[in-house]
Amino acid sequence: MSLSVAYRHAFPGLALDVAFDAPGGVTALFGPSGCGKSTTISAISGLMRPDAGRIVLNDRVLFDGRTNLSPQDRRIGCVFQDARLFPHMTVAANLRYPSRWRRGAAREMDRVVELLGLGPLLKRRPGTLSGGERQRTAIGRALLSDPALLVMDEPLAALDDSRKAEIMPWLERLRDEVRLPILYVSHSVPEVLRLATTVVLMEKGRVTHAGPLTDILSDPDLAPRLGTREAGALIRARIEGREPDGMTRVMTAGGPMLLQGIEGSVGTVLRLRVLAHEIILSRDAPTGLSALNILPTTVTRVDGGLVQLALGDERMLAQVTPRSIEVLDLKPGTACYAIVKSVSVLPS
Ligand SMILES: Nc1ncnc2c1ncn2[C@@H]1O[C@H](COP(=O)(O)OP(=O)(O)OP(=O)(O)O)[C@@H](O)[C@H]1O
C-alpha cells in the first residue's frame, strides 16, 4: 500500500515541484498557507492536470505523460472541510450513494456504520446533524466508494474545539483499523501529532522533508517547523507492571520510567510524548530530586538551544539555555542524564 507522487506545475505566482512517497498509515501534508498542499491533493485526486510528473498508487499509474485517469477511475475517497452531503437524503442514503452498484456493498456498509458509530444517525438528514456527525458521515461515504487511498483536506477546520475532540477518536480508529493509506492536510499541529505516522513538510511549492513524525519531532532543524514548543520526542514504552502506590512501570529504549494514571495491561505499547522544555539535563546522576524519571542518555547533536539525545535507538530533544550548554560542556558524545518532568501518553 503506497502512493508515490512527483509532479511539476507552474501557476503565475508559484512554481510547484513536489515529490514524496506516502507509505501506509496517515501521511500529513504540512506547511504554511499557499505552499501547495491543496494543489497537491488536486493533482493526486485528478481534479487538476499537472504540467508534468508521475503519480502512482499501489502500482497503478494515475498520471504520467501518457496516462491521466479521471477522478472517478482513481479510487480515491475525498473528505473536505465542508462535508458536501446531499441535503435531501438521509444519512443512510448518503452512505449508500457511492456504492449503489457494487456487489458486497451492504456488508461493507454495516462495517463502516459500526466503525464510525453512524447507527443512530442513519434516518436523519444532514441539516439535523452536528458538524462532527456530518464529517463522520462524509468519511463513511468516502470509505464506501471502495477507495485505495483516502484524502482528507482540512477535515476538521470548520469544527469548533469540542466537535474536533469528539471526532478525533473516530479518526484514530480509522487509522488503526482500516488498512488504507490516508493523506491528511492540516494546519493544526495537535491534529498532526495525534494522527500522523509520516509527515511531508512543504514550503513554497516544494517538499523540504518527508519522514516519520518521530524523526521530525526530535530533529533540531525540523522540529521548529511544527513550532518550538512541540519539539521533543515521541518514544515507545511498554507497560511492565504496577507499583504498590498505583504508579505504572514502563520500559523505554532509555530505561524504566514511572507514570501516573495509565490504563492498559502489561505488555501494552504506548507512545510517550515528551516536550523539549520539560527536560532538564545533568552531567552527574542526580539525587534528592522529586522527579521520578531520570534517563541516562548521550548527546548526539547540539543546535542552538536544542540538544538531541540518544535513548537507545530513539532520539529526544531537550531545550536548554546556551549558558547551560557551555557550563555542562554538552557536545556530541557527552554522557548525561535527562530528568523528564512530565510526559503525556498517546495510544500506540
Ligand atoms: N487555479 C489556480 N490558478 C492560479 N494560481 C493558483 C491556482 N490554484 C492555486 N494557485 C496558487 O498556488 C499556490 C498554492 O495554493 P494551494 O491552495 O495549493 O496552497 P495551500 O498550501 O493548500 O494553502 P492553504 O493552506 O491556504 O489552503 C497559491 O499561491 C495559490 O494562489
Residue 294's closest CA among 275, 308, 279? 279
Residue 299's closest CA among 281, 284, 275, 286? 281
39, 47, 184, 204, best to mutate for ligand 1 pocket (most atoms within 8 Å of CB): 39
Parallel/antiparallel/unpaired status of strands 26-30 and 182-185: parallel
Compute how many other C-beta atoms are within 10 angstroms of the C-beta atom of residue 196: 22
In tens digits, the chain (348 residues) has pLDDT values of 689 999 999 999 899 999 999 988 899 999 999 999 999 999 999 999 999 999 999 989 999 978 999 998 999 999 888 878 888 999 998 998 876 666 667 778 888 898 888 999 999 999 999 888 898 999 999 888 888 999 999 888 877 888 888 888 888 888 888 878 899 998 888 888 888 989 999 999 999 999 998 888 888 888 888 877 777 888 889 999 998 988 899 999 988 999 888 888 899 998 888 899 899 999 988 887 767 789 999 999 998 889 999 998 899 999 999 999 999 999 999 999 999 888 887 765
Residues with CB under 6 A from ligand 1: 11-14, 31, 33-39
Residue 212's closest CA among 197, 200, 222? 197
User: How far, in Å, from the CA of 31 to the mean position of ligand 1?
Assistant: 12
Q: What does the alpha-carbon distance between residue 94 and residue 303 come to, in Å, rounded to a whole number?
A: 52
9, 14, 154, best to mutate for ligand 1 pocket (most atoms within 8 Å of CB): 14
Which residue's CA lies nearest to atom 18 of ligand 1? 36
User: How far, in Å, from the CA of 39 to the mean position of ligand 1?
Assistant: 6
Which atom of ligand 1 lies at the shortest distance from residue 185's CA? Answer: 22
Q: Dihedral, CA atoms, 235, 241, 246, 249, nearest 10 degrees?
A: -30
Compute how many other C-beta atoms are within 10 angstroms of the C-beta atom of residue 102: 12
Which atom of ligand 1 lies at the shortest distance from residue 39's CA? Answer: 18
Identify whether the C-beta of residue 18 lies closer than 8 Å to the C-beta of residue 5. Answer: yes
CATH topology (fold) of 232-347:
OB fold (Dihydrolipoamide Acetyltransferase, E2P) (2.40.50)
Enter the C-alpha cell of residue 346: 498517546
Which residue's CA lies nearest to atom 25 of ligand 1? 33
User: How far, in Å, from the CA of 202 to the mean position of ligand 1?
Assistant: 13
38, 51, 82, best to mutate for ligand 1 pocket (most atoms within 8 Å of CB): 38
Which atom of ligand 1 lies at the shortest distance from residue 187's CA? Answer: 25
DSSP one-letter string for 281-324: EESS---S-S--EEEEEEEEEEETTEEEEEETTEEEEEE--HHH
User: How far, in Å, from the CA of 157 to the mean position of ligand 1?
Assistant: 17
CATH homologous superfamily of domain 3-226? P-loop containing nucleotide triphosphate hydrolases (3.40.50.300)
Identify whether the C-beta of residue 132 lies closer than 8 Å to the C-beta of residue 166. Answer: yes
Which residue's CA lies nearest to atom 8 of ligand 1? 39
What is the per-residue pLDDT across 23-50, written as a single tens digit (0 to 9) for each? 888 999 999 999 999 999 999 999 999 9
Q: How far is CA 74 from CA 77, 208, 255, 301, in A?
A: 9, 27, 47, 44
Which residue's CA lies nearest to atom 3 of ligand 1? 11
Residue 337 forms beta bridges with which residues?
Answer: 282, 296
Identify whether the C-beta of residue 203 lies closer than 8 Å to the C-beta of residue 16. Answer: no
Backbone angles phi, psi at 121, to 5 degrees: -100, -5
Identify whether the C-beta of residue 42 lies closer than 8 Å to the C-beta of residue 212. Answer: no
User: How far, in Å, from the CA of 71 to the mean position of ligand 1?
Assistant: 20
Which residue's CA lies nearest to atom 9 of ligand 1? 39
What integer pLDDT is reported at residue 189 of this predicted model? 84
Listed by start position, the domains of the chain span 3-226, 232-347
User: How far, in Å, from the CA of 38 to the mean position of ligand 1?
Assistant: 7
Which atom of ligand 1 lies at the shortest distance from residue 202's CA? Answer: 21
Residue 249 forms beta bridges with which residues?
Answer: 241, 258
DSSP one-letter string for 24-45: SSEEEEE-STTSSHHHHHHHHH
Q: What does the alpha-carbon distance between residue 25 and residue 175 come to, in Å, rounded to a whole number?
A: 6
User: How far, in Å, from the CA of 297 to the mean position of ligand 1?
Assistant: 44
User: How far, in Å, from the CA of 137 to the mean position of ligand 1?
Assistant: 27
What is the per-residue pLDDT across 140-197, written as a single tens digit (0 to 9) for each? 998 888 889 999 998 888 778 888 888 888 888 888 888 788 999 988 888 888 889 8
